[in-house]
Structures are given as C-alpha cells and as structure tokens.
Chains A and B, each alone.
Chain A
Amino acid sequence: MSIKETEELILNMGPQHPSMHGLFRMVVHLEGETITKIEPKLGYLHRGMEKLAESRTYAQFIPYTDRLDYLASPHNNWAYVQTVEKLMGVEIPERAEYLRVIFGELARIASHQVMIASTALDMAGWSAWSYAFRDRERICDMYEMTAGSRLTVNIMRIGGMSAEPPEEFWPALKSFLDDTPEMLEEYYGIFFGNEIALGRLKNVGILSKEMAENLSITGPVLRASGVDYDVRKAEPYSIYDRFDFKVPVRTGCDSYDRTIIRMDEIVESIKIIKQAVRDIPEGPVMAKVPKVIKPPAGEVYHRVENPKGELGFYIVSDGTTKPSRVRIRPATFINLQMLPIVALGWKIQDVVAIFATLDAVLGEVDK
C-alpha cells in the first residue's frame, strides 16, 4: 500500500465560537495542525455606523458611539464629542474635563479586566475569569450610579458631561482604588503565575517592531513590541498633560507581553485617577452650548488613546446640522491585520491565544 499524501484541511472558525469574542469568523488552512493560511471574514456585526451618522444630528450620534467598543464606551463618547468640540471651538468646564478623565480611566481598567479575563478563559482558566469579572462589576456599578446604565453608558455630551456623579460615587471610587493592589495581586497569582497559561503565551506569535509600525498597529499591542507611543503623551488631549504617569513598554513582542502590559496599564490608570480625584475643582459640568449644534464647514481628525489602541474620528461638516461624513478609525480593525501574518506556522491552539491578546471587540471591528 502506498502512503497517502497529506491533504490541506480547511477549518472554519466562528462566527459562533466561544473563542471568537463576538461575531468573528476566520477560515483556517491547516497542514496537519500547522497553519498555512488564515482568511478573516468580517462584517457579521456591521451596522453601517458611518452611514447612520449622515442622517442624524451631531448630538443624536453620541449613543451610537457607545456601541463601537462596548467594553469601554466612555472612551468612544469622548473621542466623538471632542472631535465635534474641536470643530465648533467649544471650551468645556474644568470639572467636566476631570470627570472625563476619571471615567475614561475607569473604562480602561474595566476593558483591561475583561481582556485578562477572556484571555484566561481562552486558555481554559475559568477561575481567573471570574476574579476579573467580579472586580469589573464595581466599575459597572459606578457607571450605573452616574448614568443609569452599566455597559453602554452614554455619559458624555457635546460641551461636558451628562450628569454630576451622585454623592455615593466618591466613596465607591475610593474603596475601589484602595482595593486594586490586592486585585492585581490576585490576577498575578491565579493567571500570570500559572504554568499552563505561561506555556501557551510565552514566545507565541512574535510581532516585530518594524512589522508593527508598517501594519499601523496602535495601543498596547504596539507598546508590547517595544515602541514607546501613546497618544496621551505624544499629543496630549483633554488635560492629560497635567498628570504624572508612565507609558508601560515591553519588548518581548509575544502574546505574554501583550497580555501583561495591560496589568501595567491598570497600575498607571489608577495613578491618574488618584491624581484627578485629588485635584478636581468644583463647578458646572456642562458648558453653554447652543441648542442646535451647527458646526462651521470644515473637517477635523481627532484621536484618543482607547484601551485597545488609537480611536480616531474624522468629521467633515458642510455647515448644516448633520455631518457630511463621519469616519471612524477603529483601533482593533487595523490591529487585526496582524493575525494572518503573525499566526502563520503556529498550531491551531496558538491562533486562539494570538487572537485573544489582540483584544478585538467586534463592535468596533465591524462598526
């Protein structure tokens, strides 16, 4: 009997698959268990945000931005309202700026907690998942106190914040900040100290520095490849130039560094929130903005550092109450381009690890 030739196996992963973080689908070509080609298929959650924006007024579009990266919705609000404010030349009150920083950094912590939890889950670590989600609940509670909802908070307005946080917000925030060192200790112990997790993540999926720059990668994925770049430092928006914090950079370029860099970022976010709580002034949270928002004709591109990378809005106004074009530059959509390149030659289980460390949220990828 002759030996049969090996045949290429085509495997479809997703869109309904627990490790696909939403509705992501990829067609994987396998030679044995080794990957020879990956074709990501996007669009299962495409809602046509950019088209919807053209038929809504500027203020009406704010709730839609919540649905982009739904794990860090205050950030999406922030990017959008700041772009409109830049276009109109609106100055917002000091207190609102500080509140935006507090909620933005809380969202960053919550988003990174979900990332750590879901990466642990993809590595079959159920218990680590429950620890991070337990702590994230407290941030959701703080959202709920202020804005009334827990996930898509819609907390910012053109010209300030939707509401002043209630009295019970401040003690809740303080106790959360006091407990964070203990929380991080637990994550380190249960996930990053786990040999199975380390084996699945260390030296898996190397993304070199040159490759990352050429692929327009941003955010923690770029910084884990040894590039010191953060929009908060490079082009400080809002009041980030007033705070003392570091940008964590790691040079391992592998899945492990892409995961643990989020832990470093949580530490820095806590530092920023503590400084903001210390310095926050009294005053109104909303500027005087005309009832009908009608920016002058013009165009502006503005970007913020979303937990996943750089989120940019490019708005073209024609001088009417509705935007002529709203372009969303989603961070993870562009970061996702590394997956078919980096995963080549790895085994099928490594693709799950590489995809998890990208921290893709399909609401943002598919818009």
Chain B
Amino acid sequence: MVKKKIFSSLILAFVLLLTYVPILILIIYSFTDSAFVGQWKGFSLALYLRLFSDREIMLIVKDTILLALAAASISTILGTVGAIGIYYSKKRTAKAMSAISNIPMINAEIITAVSLVLLFTMFFGGKSMFSLLSGHVVITIPFVVVSVIPKLKQMDDNLYEAALDLGATPLKALLTVVLPEIIPGIVSGFMLSVTLSLDDYIVTAFTKPNTFSTISTYVYESMNRPATSKLPELRALSAIIFFAILGVALLSAFRKNKQQGDSF
C-alpha cells in the first residue's frame, strides 16, 4: 500500500513539474536583465521597471483589460437572459436552444474566427472595434450560459411561483427572486469571460483593426521580429499575468468553499 502511494505521488509530482516548469523558468528569468531565457545576469528588477515605463505596452495592457471587461459585461447580460430563457422554455425547445448556444464552445475557434471575419467584411464594412468586441462576445457567451443554468436548476421552482402568488408580475418576480438566486453563477460566468477574453489570440487576431493590439497579439508579433522586440519585458508581463490569474482562481475557489460551508 505504502509503495503504491509513493508511486502515485511521484507520478503526480512529475506531471505537475512538466506543467509548471516552463512557467517557473519564465518567472525566474523575469528577475534578471538578460536578452533571452537561459542567460542569468544576476538578480535585477530592471525588466519590471522598463515594463512599467514603456508607454506602448502599458497602453496595450489597458486596452486588453478594457476590451475584456466590455466583452464580459455584454456577454454576461446576454448569456444570463439566454440561460433564463432556455430554462423556462418547453423541454424540447430548451434542449435545442442550449445545444445551439454551446456550439461556439466546442467549435474550432479558427472556424468561428474566419466566419466572423467573412460576416464583418461582407456586411459591416470590415474589421473594427465593433467586430473585435462582437467576436469576444460570441466566444464568451456560452460560458456564461453554462455557468448560469446549473444555478437555475438548483433553485426551488416554487420560488418563482411563490413570488407570482404574492402578487409580483413575472418580470418583478424574475428580478427580485430569481436573479438573487443565480448571482453566483452570473459572477463566475463574468470572471470566466474576462479570463477567456484576456488571453484569446485567434479570434482577436482575425477581427481586430490593424492599429489595435491586445497582449496576446502583441506578444505574437514580437516573437516574429526579435530584433526590435521587447521580449524581455514581456517576460515580466507574463509573470504578472500569471500571478493575477492565480489570484483570481484562488479567490473563486475560496468563495466556492465558503458557499458550500454555508449551505451545509
């Protein structure tokens, strides 16, 4: 038994190592002022200082975050309304609707991207901020739908009926009774959308206007022209993003634990 346990923990350690070693190396080398990973020139925060004083990168970071927040807000509203619609539809309609809304999630992203470009060049005069925002909304909506629907299913159906019974109109009942019950699902859908939008490359690259960059498209472009690039600074940026995401993940895990603690 003991042997078996050691073996399984060894495998686990190996897998975790494989997953996290590249990121760890990146983070370690963000604390030295060298041109490429592998070259250690002693501990230094120079990359971070240069990163924060680089106006171009800072602008891109700001744009990326704003885009993520805007896209996530829109898809959270649309996705929540959609989830409620699906939940209260007749069984067959609901099944069809939820299957259709899940397509962007399972469809290859490149296909979504290409079809969006075609649509926007044909009907909306080419690529613009509008096409970029729409693209991000399209890829994040299904994630909002799938995080809200379970909350609706967990809810006691009689709550909505009780509100109607007490004189609330359907809309009022939805806002005052159903919505508070599904808020946790809406919040996690929003957070999921933000992270998805932040690190999306394919749809962004296809739908963005030429003068606009997000972190991921900027990193990709930098890789292609190493001479003029700011790749070392991007190491520092990557480290920051990693810790930010880690923070969000821990926070939501903690919140989930707390919720479960409440209900039991």
Q: A and B from one assembly?
A: no
Which A residues fall within an 8 A CB radius of B? Answer: none
